[in-house]
Each structure stands twice: as structure tokens, then as C-alpha cells.
Structure 1
Amino acid sequence: MFSFISWFIPSVPTWLTLETSPLDCALQGLVGACGISILCNLLRVYLFVEAQSYADGKDGPSNKRSHSGGLIHRIQFWILTLIIGLVGSRVASLVVLEFCLRAISTRLTAAQDPLTDSVLQLLVQCQFSLGCAFNCSLQFLHEGAPQAWLSLLLAAGLSWFLASQCSRLRRHVMSMYPIHSTQRYCGVCIGLLTSGPSILTFLCSALIITFSVASIAAVSSINRHFLSTSEALRFWTPLTICYTLLIIYMQEEQRRQPSGQALLNTVVVRLGGLLVLMLTVGRWADVLHILLCFTGEAACLLPAQDLLESAYKGAADVPRHVTRNEPQRRQKKLEKHD
């Protein structure tokens, strides 16, 4: 009887099924979304502290901006959790490798620029790639584990705790830092006053480690889909040529139009090129996951317009000698308040 009824129910296509269990996908998506939240909150803290310090150095009012989009950030968090959990390891690996290639090319071509000119822009752009890095890394590290969900649950709990602490730090700094840093009311704000620039260095170091592990996982995840070396070459050759040309184009475009709109345009070009490539040598599941990546990139970049504006305009507003002499000036400020 049941077999007769199931004959009328269409089966789910294999390219719509998940690579792992729904629980594992949900936990991986949660870890990726928490990583993006930590990155954005620490970037906002860094930019606010730098803007406040520069305004104090000029003895003028700081450019304070309200960050009241709490509901928007919560919606963004759960959308990213869903999208990162649904994106397959193959497409997530391609996104990670593309960002690593773009980051290396950006640092090589902008070697003479200060850290805050190019690296800060790169940190804003890597949000969704960071989520994909956690996705493919966790899937690679837990492949074949009998109780992988327990380890993923521990990772999700730790990520949730760190994300909540960074969110509390951002809210505290936005509201109380101008008072606490001058009146010396709390150790957190005094610590940010003396070592605020180290946040950017810490983020860079953490992302280098994260994407290094993710690159190894990405190459392994992609190569296991090929049965022979010829199939691997047939995939890697057009991928390498396509993304080399795309990166050259995107860098030239951002030099001509250094703005957030140019960044959004390069996202469309980058994922559009990957979509065409997957229509040629990929699978239907890859095409569906790339369409999800469009939504994920939009969910990361559209609510981060303040970060985009600071990344493209902050370096032009703050003179280079201010950043270079920032630690000495902060120490003098503390001595003046003693």
C-alpha cells in the first residue's frame, strides 16, 4: 500500500539534496554567520575608535553615526546562517579560492599603500567568503567523523558566545567610549585607547590563518570530485584563466571608481563569471548554489554601507602621518589626563 502511494510522490532530484545532514548544515551555517558578525563588529569598533581619536587630535567634534539597525543585523544573521548552510562545499571552495587569489593580487599590486588603504577594503569585501571558508573547513575537518554533530555543536556554541561578546563590545563603545576614554571610567575603553590599532592587525592575522586552512580544504574538496587528472585539468584550466582575467578587470575598475557601487558591480561580475563557468563544466547543484551566493553577498554588503564608506573614504580623510604616529599620540593623551 505504501509503495503504491509513494509511486505517485515525485522523488527529490539529487542536485537538490544536501551534502550532509540538515543538522550539520545548520550548525556550519551558524558558525559562518557568527564569524561574519565578529568581523563586522570588530571592524566597527576599530573604525569608531580611530575616528574618535582623530577628532580628538584635531580638537573638533567626531563624526558620530548611529548604528541602530539592530533588527536589520539580526535578520541578516539568520539569512546568512541559512545561505551558508545550504551552499555546497564545492561552490564554497571556489569562493574561498577566488578570494585568496584576489587578496594576494591586491597586496602585490598595492604593496606601497598603507595598511588602512587596501587591507581595510579587503576585510569589508571578505565577509561572505569568510562564511564559505568556515563552511568548507568544517566539512573537511569533520569528514568521516561518526559524531560530527557534537563537535559542530561545540563550535557553534563557542562562535555564538564570541559573537555576542563582540556585539556587546560594539554597543558599549558606540555609546560610552567618548566619555570613558577621557574620564578613565572602565578598562575596556582605556585599553582601546592605547591599543586600538592592534584590532586591525589581529583581524588580519586571524583571517590569514582561517583562509590558509580553508584553501587546503577547498583544493581537497574540489579534487575529490574528479576521477582522473584530465578531468581536473579540464576544470582548473578555465577556472584559473577566467579568474585571473576577472581579478585584473576588477582591480582596474576599482581604481577608476573607488566607491561602494564599484564594489557591488565587481561582485556581480565575479559571481557571474563563476556562474558561466559552472554552466559549462559544473553541475546543476553548483548553479543553484552560486545563485545563493548572490543573495549571500548582497546580505553581507548592503547592511555594511557604513563600513564601505569608511573603507573608501576614511583613508583619504585621515593623513598618513596620523596613522603612523598614532601610538605615541595616544600615550601623550593618557599622560595628559593623569
Structure 2
Amino acid sequence: MFSFFSSFVPSLPTWFTLETNPLNCILQGLVGACGISVLCNLLRVYLFVEAQSIADSKDDIKKKSSHGGLIQKLQFWILTVILGFVGSRVASLVVLEFCLRAVSSRLTAPSDKLGDSLLQLLVQCQFSLGCAFNCSLHFLHEEAPQAWLSLLLAAGLSWFLASQCSRLWHHVKAMYPIHSTQRYCGVCIGLLTTGTSILPFLCSALILTFSVASIAAISSINQHFLSTTEALRFWTPLTICYTLLIIYMNDEQHRQPSGQALLNMVIVRLGGLLVLMLTVGRWADVLHILVCFIGEAACLLPAQDLLDSAFKDVADVSRRSVMKTENQRRQKKLD
């Protein structure tokens, strides 16, 4: 009787449904959102500690992010839902696209600006990092009978790390200028002596994360192909077009390092993925890429303090290098 009445109820299209158990999807999204939160808070700590050595930009990042408590909480839950909704196939494409973009950025960046482009790349990789956790967890727990238990443990550990990093940032923002000068707090003294090691630590952690995610992404995408010919038909235009596109966009960003150029790059590269999915993908992939636009906006718009600090750090480094060159020239003339 129930089946008779349920036959009259319209069912949702397959591209509206989630790939796995909704609980697993939400837990995966929660882990990804926690990873993004850890990255942003540690970057804020690093930039704030670095800014203490520059008198004219001492409180920039503190002032710009002093009102961001509610925004960061709203961003966290929005990213949890978005990352839980995005399918593993599109998340894998985002991960591979970021890996290609990172390699291209390191190859095309001038030798004297490698550190600057690295800092900007860390700010840009937020949503890609969430997708990396998404596709890695999907790959590791695929067809596991009790995957939700492992995902629940991962979500709990991620929540703990995210909360500790958030507490660290709020403590540094409020007390570091006092504690670092009066030698009062062990945390602030540790940051004063070893704060510069945060950036290399983040780079090492991201390299490991995206290396695992790349393997999971390639495996996840290849499962959707029935033959090698079909896989080559998908990978060939993706690799060629995106290599050319990313090199061009990286050159433009090096010429005009600004937040507007970054947003334009997001629109172009996700638009390229959208066109690709309209050609060789499925309707579910198209819908998920449209959701990725919201995810990128949810990551970058609240992170304007990080973007401004990163671009200002680039300008400060460039100004100091120009002054150093001029001083060397003057010294040669005097000699």
C-alpha cells in the first residue's frame, strides 16, 4: 500500500541527491571547514607576528579582523554545508586544478618573489584545501561498512585543532604586543622566537595534504570511465587547456598583484571547469561547480584581511629590495 502511494510522489533527479550517506557528507564537510579554519588562523598569527617588526603596519590585520567573529562562524557553517554537498568528482577536479596552479605559480614566479607568491597561494588555497579533505576522506572510506564512526573521530579531532588555533589567534591578537615585550607569556615568547617557522610548517602540511588528495582525486575520477579512450578524452583537454589558462592567469597576477585580479582568476578558472563539465561531464557536476563559486566566495570575501596583508607584504618587500639596490649603487659610486 505504501509503495502504491509513494509511486505518485515525484522523486528528485539523481543530480540533486548526495553521493553517500548525508551524515558522512556533513562530517566530511565539517573536517574540510575545520582545515580551512586552522589554515586561516595560523596565517593570521604569522602575519600579525611579522607585522610587529613594521611600525607603520603594526595593527593592520588586528583592526581589519577585529569584527570578524560572527562572520567567521557563519563562514564555517556555510563551508561545512557546501563541502558536504560538493561531490567527490568535482572536489577531485578542484584539487587537481589547484595542484597544477601551484606548480605553475612556482615555475612562473620571479626568483626574487617566490616567498611572496607562496604567501598569496596559501591564501588562495582555502576552498581547494576543503575539497582535498573531502575527496581524500571519500577515497579512504569508500564502501566502508561503518565509515561514519571514523569520520566522527576525524571531525572531533579537526574541531579540537580548529578551536585551539582560533584561541591562539584571539590570544595573539589581544595580548601579543604586551606579552612579547614584557616576556610574560610562554606562548607569545615562543612566537617571538619561532614565529617565522609557521609558514614553512603550513607549506609542509599542505604539500602532504595535497599529495594524498591528488592520488585520491585521480583514482576517484578514473572510476567514472569505462575505458582508457574515454579517460584520455577527458584528461587531454583538461590538461592542455588548463595549463595554458593557469600560466596566463599567473602571469597576469604577477603583473597586477591585487585582490581584484585574484577574484577574476577565480571566475576564469571555475568558469573553465564549468565549460568542461558542460562538454564531458554530468548535470550533477555542473550543479556542484556552481556551488563551488559560492564556496570560493565564502572563503575569499571574509579573508580580505589576509589578502590585504599578503599584498601589502609583497609591496613592502619590493620597496625594501629597491632601497637595498639603490644603497648598493650609491656605495659603489662612493667607492
The alignment's TM-score, normalised by the length of structure 2, stands at 0.92
Q: Which residue is equivalent to 2:326?
A: none
Q: Which residue is equivalent to 2:35?
A: 35
Distance (Å, rounded) in 1 between the aligned partners of 2:3 and 2:18: 24
Q: How does 1:39-54 map to 2 (within 5 A)?
A: 39-54=39-54
Q: Which residue is equivalent to 2:16?
A: 16
SS of equivalent to 2:112: coil
| 1:255 Cα deviation after fit | 2.4
1:302-332 CA distance string (max 9 Å, x none): 000111111112122146979xxxxxxxxxx
Identity fraction in percent: 81
Distance (Å, rounded) in 2 between the aligned partners of 1:79 and 1:154: 21
| 1:115 Cα deviation after fit | 4.7
Q: How does 1:317-328 map to 2 (within 5 A)?
A: 317-318=316-317
The answer to whether 1:270 aligns with 2:294 is no
The answer to whether 1:94 aligns with 2:90 is no
Kept after mapping to 2: 8 A contact 1:91/1:289: yes
Kept after mapping to 2: 8 A contact 1:140/1:217: yes
Distance (Å, rounded) in 1 between the aligned partners of 2:17 and 2:6: 18
Distance (Å, rounded) in 2 between the aligned partners of 1:28 and 1:121: 26
Kept after mapping to 2: 8 A contact 1:54/1:318: no
Q: Which residue is equivalent to 1:62?
A: 58
Q: Which residue is equivalent to 1:335?
A: none
**More displaced stretch, 293-302 vs 309-318:** 309-318
The answer to whether 1:5 aligns with 2:5 is yes
| 1:5 Cα deviation after fit | 1.6
Distance (Å, rounded) in 2 between the aligned partners of 1:62 and 1:274: 40
Q: Which residue is equivalent to 1:330?
A: none
| 1:256 Cα deviation after fit | 2.9
Q: Given residue 233 of structure 1, which amino acid in structure 2 is its aligned partner? A: L
Distance (Å, rounded) in 1 between the aligned partners of 2:70 and 2:207: 31
1:190-220 CA distance string (max 9 Å, x none): 0000011100000000000000000000000
1:256-279 CA distance string (max 9 Å, x none): 321001000010000001000000
| 1:4 Cα deviation after fit | 2.8
Cα distance change, pair 229–61 in 1 and its aligned pair in 2 (3 A)? closer
1:19-70 CA distance string (max 9 Å, x none): 1100000000000000000000000000000001233xxxx67234322211
Unmatched tracts of structure 2, length 5 or more: 322-335
1:62-101 CA distance string (max 9 Å, x none): 2343222111000000000000000000000000000001
Q: Which residue is equivalent to 2:311?
A: 312
Distance (Å, rounded) in 2 between the aligned partners of 1:261 and 1:61: 22
Q: Which residue is equivalent to 2:202?
A: 203
Distance (Å, rounded) in 1 between the aligned partners of 2:137 and 2:162: 18
Q: Given residue 314 of structure 1, which amino acid in structure 2 is its aligned partner? A: D
Q: Given residue 47 of structure 1, which amino acid in structure 2 is its aligned partner? A: L
Q: How does 1:279-294 map to 2 (within 5 A)?
A: 279-294=278-293
Kept after mapping to 2: 8 A contact 1:33/1:131: yes
Kept after mapping to 1: 8 A contact 2:35/2:130: yes
**More displaced stretch, 172-181 vs 106-115:** 106-115
Q: Which residue is equivalent to 1:224?
A: 223
SS of equivalent to 1:197: helix
Kept after mapping to 2: 8 A contact 1:93/1:136: yes
SS of equivalent to 1:98: helix
**More displaced stretch, 160-169 vs 1-10:** 1-10
Kept after mapping to 2: 8 A contact 1:23/1:149: yes
Distance (Å, rounded) in 2 between the aligned partners of 1:194 and 1:115: 23
Kept after mapping to 2: 8 A contact 1:93/1:133: yes
**More displaced stretch, 109-118 vs 197-206:** 109-118
Q: Which residue is equivalent to 1:334?
A: none
Q: How does 1:103-182 map to 2 (within 5 A)?
A: 103-110=102-109, 112-182=111-181
Q: Given residue 115 of structure 2, which amino acid in structure 1 is its aligned partner? A: T
Q: Which residue is equivalent to 2:325?
A: none
Distance (Å, rounded) in 2 between the aligned partners of 1:294 and 1:319: 32
Kept after mapping to 2: 8 A contact 1:47/1:310: yes
Distance (Å, rounded) in 1 between the aligned partners of 2:34 and 2:179: 28
Unmatched tracts of structure 1, length 5 or more: 323-338
Displaced runs of 4 or more, over 6 A: 319-322
The answer to whether 1:80 aligns with 2:79 is yes
Distance (Å, rounded) in 2 between the aligned partners of 1:134 and 1:42: 18
| 1:12 Cα deviation after fit | 1.6
Distance (Å, rounded) in 2 between the aligned partners of 1:111 and 1:133: 28
Distance (Å, rounded) in 1 between the aligned partners of 2:12 and 2:318: 58
Kept after mapping to 1: 8 A contact 2:35/2:162: yes
